[in-house]
Structure 1
Amino acid sequence: MPTISMFYGILVLMFYRDNRQHHLPHIHVRYQGEEAALAIEDGSILAGSIPSKQLKLVRAWLEIHKDALYVNWELAVNGEEPFRIPPLQ
């Protein structure tokens, strides 16, 4: 489960071959012991939860990097290494 970005204490991960559980392109986010899976398309929460402030930051980052995230998703589901994506600044 490679970390593809980190910002403001938030880790953004994309698991290899992770297209069975949620059936949508998504990322995993960790913040201070809490975890959530978010759809790349609209930032909706598929599982778990993170605090509202961090969720807003992740959703803004998702919107900025949506195209790169879809490329990473294709790499990851095929078992290839996704690339790092710049953090939110």
Structure 2
Amino acid sequence: MPEISTFYGITIRMFNKDHQPPHFHAEYGGKMESIDIRTGRVLAGNLPKRAHKMAMEWWEIHRDELLEMWETKQLNKKLPPLE
């Protein structure tokens, strides 16, 4: 699964041929969440509260880019980390 960004121990990934709805995976400390790109709703999993909050901040910044990457299946692009 291509790694799109890493920050503060959180790794963001998207599968090349994943199921709908458009989503990304955030991983931290052995836990994972799948997050809907369009709405920010957690589809599955459970990150620690602080890691979830940072993943959501990152999502707000990169939402449009993530959706474009999903739609075009160009997942080799790296997005800047949360700073």
Q: Same fold (TM over 0.5)?
A: yes
- Unaligned 5+ residue runs, structure 2? none
CA distance in 2, matches of 1:27, 1:34: 14
Residues 1:70 and 2:64 aligned together = no
Q: Give the TM-score taking structure 2 as reference length.
A: 0.92
> Percent identity of the aligned residues?
41
Residues 1:51 and 2:48 aligned together = yes
Considering only aligned residues, what root-mean-square deviation do their CA atoms show, in Å?
1.1
2:27 to 22, 27, 30: 30
Q: Give the TM-score taking structure 1 as reference length.
A: 0.86
Paired position in structure 1 for 2:14: 14
Number of residue-to-residue matches in the alignment: 83
- Unaligned 5+ residue runs, structure 1? none
CA distance in 1, matches of 2:40, 2:53: 9
